């Protein structure tokens, strides 16, 4: 595994992190979930990305992870960087969503209980909440650090103007933002300009999610919807409507470049995210150990020729494929 320094902090992150958004919930196979976490850790992926609402049902991915920690990994806690987040819909009731102090404080306590951890390495505001003053959200994050419930803080998906305000508040309180989390893939370039620039200027690391566009950038949907895929499992986040002819055509063309490089399309898509040198780590999601092992091999061929990059740019510059 390779590691990159996260912004101006003293923390190094593995270039690949494992996310537990899908495939770690109460309805998923615990044995497979455990094997994925243990394989990841054995291969140097020491950063695990959680959120209070991951499941389904919400909270169950943290319960799964807590069980693996207790049964298998507790002795390695100091070698692990574990993140969680609050901000999206979590429990019914007026305080169960958003980025108020009330929600963030209660959420962090609940997440600690579910995972059985004493502290999170990183606690994120999962989203900017226009109904809450940003000062309130940021002060809640600062206080989690002061209370010893988090070592570092992060922000996720903040729009540029609020991202700027968040960094400034956190810097004033001497709790700098360790990580800024944005979606970034060959099918979603939006964060690359403004959000990445702001993060670098503020000394924050950058961590990217959905690098395979939730599986589209593996080529798995080229011949229909595989029975065991995210779309077939009715994820509300990736539906048949996302599998458009234009995206499939781009996937086909990208697959040719990947094959010429001796890589799978998934491997090339991950290498491409990491070729953006400002990215500290890419969060992968997997539904099997085979996928995990295969994705790790992206690191065997990380560099691109100028011709390859130009051809990829040409393919992905079609506006209709962006999402």
- Long-range CB contact pairs, 235-244, < 8 A, 24+: 235/22, 238/214, 242/214, 242/216, 242/323, 243/216, 244/320, 244/321
- Cβ pair 91, 63 in contact under 8 A: no
CA distance 1 to 286: 18
Half-sphere exposure of 176 (CA within 13 A, CB side): 14
Among 53, 139, 180, 218, binds ligand NAP (CB under 6 A): 218
Angle at the Cα of 69 (from 11 to 34), degrees rounded to 5?
105
Tell me the number of residues near ligand NAP by CB under 6 A.
Answer: 30
C-beta of residue 162 within 8 angstroms of C-beta of residue 127: no
Q: At what angle do helices 60-68 and 101-115 cross, to 10 degrees?
A: 40
At closest approach, how far in Å is the CB of 306 from ligand NAP? 26
Looking at the Cβ atoms of 61 and 145, the one nearer to ligand NAP is 61
Give the count of beta carbons closer than 10 Å to the beta carbon of residue 6.
26
Q: Which is nearer to ligand NAP, 167 or 184 (CB)?
A: 184
Of 71-79, 96-104, 213-221, 253-261, which part binds ligand NAP (CB under 6 A)? 213-221
Question: Does 209 help bind ligand NAP (rule: CB under 6 A)?
Answer: yes
Contact between 111 and ligand NAP by CB under 6 A: the answer reads: no
Name which of residues 282 to 311 contact ligand NAP (CB under 6 A).
283-287, 291, 294-295
Q: Which is nearer to ligand NAP, 52 or 75 (CB)?
A: 52
Q: Is the peptide bond before 14 cis (omega within 30 degrees of 0)?
A: no
Which residues from 173-202 bind ligand NAP, rule CB under 6 A? 181
Segment 26 to 85, residues that bind ligand NAP, using CB under 6 A? 49
Backbone angles phi, psi at 156, to 5 degrees: -130, 130
Cβ closest to ligand NAP, residue 294 vs residue 306: 294
Of the listed pieces 21-29, 62-70, 73-81, 134-142, which binds ligand NAP according to CB under 6 A?
21-29
Binding site for ligand NAP (CB under 6 A): 19-23, 49, 126, 156-157, 181, 209-215, 218, 220, 229-230, 266, 283-287, 291, 294-295
């Amino acid at each position: 595994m390779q590691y990159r320094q996260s912004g101006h902090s003293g923390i190094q992150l593995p270039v690949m992190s494992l996310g537990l958004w899908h495939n770690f919930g109460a309805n998923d196979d615990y044995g497979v979930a455990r094997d994925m976490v243990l394989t990841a850790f054995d291969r140097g992926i020491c950063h695990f990305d959680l959120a209070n609402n991951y499941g389904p049902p919400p909270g169950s991915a943290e319960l799964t992870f807590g069980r693996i920690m207790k049964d298998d990994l507790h002795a390695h806690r100091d070698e692990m960087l574990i993140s969680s987040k609050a901000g999206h819909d979590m429990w019914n009731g007026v305080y169960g969503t958003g980025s108020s102090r009330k929600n963030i404080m209660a959420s962090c306590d609940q997440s600690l209980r579910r995972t059985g951890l004493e502290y999170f390495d990183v606690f994120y505001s999962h989203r900017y909440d226009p109904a809450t003053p940003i000062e309130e959200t940021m002060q809640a994050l600062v206080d989690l650090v002061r209370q010893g419930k988090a070592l570092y803080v992060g922000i996720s998906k903040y729009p540029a103007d609020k991202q700027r305000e968040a960094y400034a508040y956190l810097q004033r309180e001497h709790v700098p933002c360790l990580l800024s989390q944005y979606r970034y893939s060959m099918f979603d370039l939006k964060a690359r300009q403004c959000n990445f620039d702001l993060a670098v200027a503020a000394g924050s690391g950058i961590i990217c999610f959905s690098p395979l566009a939730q599986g589209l950038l593996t080529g798995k949907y080229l011949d229909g919807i595989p029975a065991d895929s995210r779309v077939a499992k009715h994820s509300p986040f990736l539906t048949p409507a996302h599998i458009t002819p234009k995206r499939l055509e781009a996937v086909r063309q990208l697959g040719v470049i990947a094959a010429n490089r001796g890589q799978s399309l998934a491997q090339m898509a991950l290498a491409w995210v990491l070729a953006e040198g400002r990215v500290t780590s890419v969060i992968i999601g997997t539904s099997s150990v085979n996928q995990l092992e295969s994705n790790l091999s992206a690191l065997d061929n990380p560099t691109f020729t100028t011709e390859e990059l130009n051809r990829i740019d040409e393919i992905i510059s079609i506006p209709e494929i962006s999402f």
